[in-house]
């Protein structure tokens, strides 16, 4: 995690004014953390939340707050949107591999002087029994897989699947939320369209039945998708694990609950407005 969030201290901040208008907050989402955050904030009249989704999922889960969908048009477009909508605080709760929107959020918030907090779940750490092969990025996974044909379980989402077309000797089992379509043109492909979370028992059964020999995943972190890592460990399977991209150095907390003191500090900062 980069930077520590200003948790706000009772000594340095006055109590929020209960009569002040709600704090206008933008949450950049698409993750379980963002959903947890807006679910909690939906019950708080002192915060007016807009959730933003990229629009990658055709039928996103319904959320209990005002939701906008689609890109802003880069950092400049986001800065404009923040100003036009009178946004007073932004929480970047996007996925740790969504590096572009995080960079845009940092640049836009800097440009219009709106405070920004990132919610960044800690990366998974190697446990005893894990057979991990590190990859710097998705294309690097090909070297880790080697040349001999293997049955590969790909759980890296849809957008970067094409890289594996350069290794058509492998049999691929691809699990995504949205259908894969023609994103991975290889002769031996099984696609599974499913939305987690999956239990450890589910993952062990699935990997056994599909005769998986190696798992490929991003180091997303968090509990929701961890059972596949644990299943691979139990089954003695190697895991090719993609390292996280560089993210902007902004105040950050590990989960949705960690964002609440920061929000309170933003409200008290407005003083008696
Ligand atoms: P990205 O590469 O960082 O962003 C690409 C572009 O998508 C951004 O420049 C922005 O377009 C738009 N965008 C991304 N997130 C947005 C949001 N929450 N609201 C509005 N626009 C957004 O992102 P990505 O890796 O494609 O991920 C897209 C979304 O899926 C993210 O919200 C992320 O939380 C979620 N997600 C990603 C992954 C992953 O592995 N990458 C996994 C699970 C969930 P403009 O420049 O036009 O504003």
CA of residue 14 to ligand 1 center, whole Å: 36
> 3 CB under 6 A from ligand 1?
no
Burial of 37 (0-12, 13-18, 19+ CB in 10 A): buried
Q: Does 145 share its domain with 205?
A: yes
pLDDT value for 271: 65
Phi, psi dihedrals of residue 265, rounded to the nearest 5°: -65, -35
> 97 CB under 6 A from ligand 1?
yes
> 16 CB under 6 A from ligand 1?
no
Residue 27 resides in a domain: yes
Of 52, 54, 68, 116, the one to substitute when testing ligand 1's pocket (max ligand atoms within 8 A of C-beta) is 54
Q: Does 175 share its domain with 215?
A: yes
Nearest CA to ligand 1 atom 10: 71
Q: Does 153 share its domain with 99?
A: no
For each of the chain's 273 residues, which pLDDT tens digit applies?
444 444 444 445 467 777 789 999 999 999 999 999 999 999 999 999 999 999 998 888 899 999 999 999 999 999 999 999 999 999 999 999 999 999 999 999 999 999 999 999 999 999 999 999 999 999 999 999 999 999 999 999 999 999 999 999 999 999 999 999 999 999 999 999 998 889 999 999 999 999 999 999 999 999 989 999 999 999 999 999 999 999 999 999 999 999 999 999 999 988 644
Residue 233 resides in a domain: yes
> 30 CB under 6 A from ligand 1?
yes
CA of residue 9 to ligand 1 center, whole Å: 33
Residue 9 resides in a domain: no
Q: Does 217 share its domain with 263?
A: no
The 3-state DSSP class for residue 204 equals: helix
pLDDT value for 84: 98
Of 1, 249, 244, 267, the C-alpha closest to 107 is 249
CA of residue 152 to ligand 1 center, whole Å: 26
Range(s) of the domain holding residue 61: 23-122+246-269
Q: Does 70 share its domain with 105?
A: yes
Helix or strand run (H / E) with residue 102? helix 99-112
> 98 CB under 6 A from ligand 1?
yes
Whether the CB-CB separation of 50 and 85 falls below 8 Å is answered with yes
Question: What does the pLDDT look like over 235-263, one tens digit per residue?
Answer: 999 999 999 999 999 999 999 999 999 99
pLDDT value for 91: 98
Burial of 187 (0-12, 13-18, 19+ CB in 10 A): exposed
> 227 CB under 6 A from ligand 1?
no
Residue 93 resides in a domain: yes
| Token output for 197 | 């979370």
Q: Does 30 share its domain with 53?
A: yes
Residue 222 resides in a domain: yes
Residue 18 resides in a domain: no
Whether the CB-CB separation of 241 and 105 falls below 8 Å is answered with no
> 138 CB under 6 A from ligand 1?
no
Q: Does 205 share its domain with 146?
A: yes
Of 33, 72, 101, the one to substitute when testing ligand 1's pocket (max ligand atoms within 8 A of C-beta) is 101
Domain count, the chain: 2
Cα separation, 53 vs 69, in Å, equals 5
pLDDT value for 9: 44
Residue 103 resides in a domain: yes
Q: Does 238 share its domain with 175?
A: yes
> 268 CB under 6 A from ligand 1?
no
Whether the CB-CB separation of 191 and 172 falls below 8 Å is answered with no
Q: Does 99 share its domain with 192?
A: no
Residue 74 resides in a domain: yes
Of 64, 39, 99, 25, the C-alpha closest to 257 is 39
Cα separation, 101 vs 26, in Å, equals 13
| Token output for 93 | 């709760």
Q: Does 231 share its domain with 137?
A: yes
> 118 CB under 6 A from ligand 1?
no
């Amino acid at each position: 995690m980069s930077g520590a969030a200003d948790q706000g201290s009772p000594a340095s901040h006055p109590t929020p004014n209960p009569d002040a208008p709600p704090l206008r907050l933008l949450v950049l989402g698409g993750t379980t953390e963002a959903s947890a955050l807006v679910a909690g904030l939906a019950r708080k009249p002192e915060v007016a939340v807009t959730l933003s989704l990229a629009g990658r999922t055709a039928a996103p889960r319904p959320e209990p707050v005002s939701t906008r969908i689609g890109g802003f048009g880069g950092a400049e477009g986001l800065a404009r949107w923040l100003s036009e909508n009178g946004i007073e605080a932004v929480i970047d709760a996007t996925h740790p591999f969504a590096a572009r929107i995080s960079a845009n959020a940092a640049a836009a918030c800097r440009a219009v002087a709106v405070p920004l907090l990132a919610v960044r779940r800690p990366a998974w750490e190697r446990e005893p029994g894990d057979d991990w092969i590190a990859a710097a990025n998705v294309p690097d996974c090909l070297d880790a897989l080697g040349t001999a044909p293997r049955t590969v379980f790909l759980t890296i989402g849809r957008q970067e699947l094409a890289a594996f077309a350069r290794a058509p000797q492998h049999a691929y089992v691809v699990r995504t939320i949205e259908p894969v379509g023609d994103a991975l043109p290889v002769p031996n492909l099984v696609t599974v369209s499913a939305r987690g979370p999956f239990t450890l028992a589910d993952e062990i059964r699935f990997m056994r039945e599909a005769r998986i020999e190696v798992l490929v995943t991003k180091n997303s972190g968090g509990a929701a998708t961890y059972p596949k890592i644990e299943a691979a460990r139990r089954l003695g399977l190697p895991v090719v694990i993609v390292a996280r991209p560089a993210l902007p150095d902004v105040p950050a907390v590990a989960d949705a609950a960690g964002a609440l003191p920061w929000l309170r500090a933003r409200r008290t900062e407005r003083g008696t407005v």
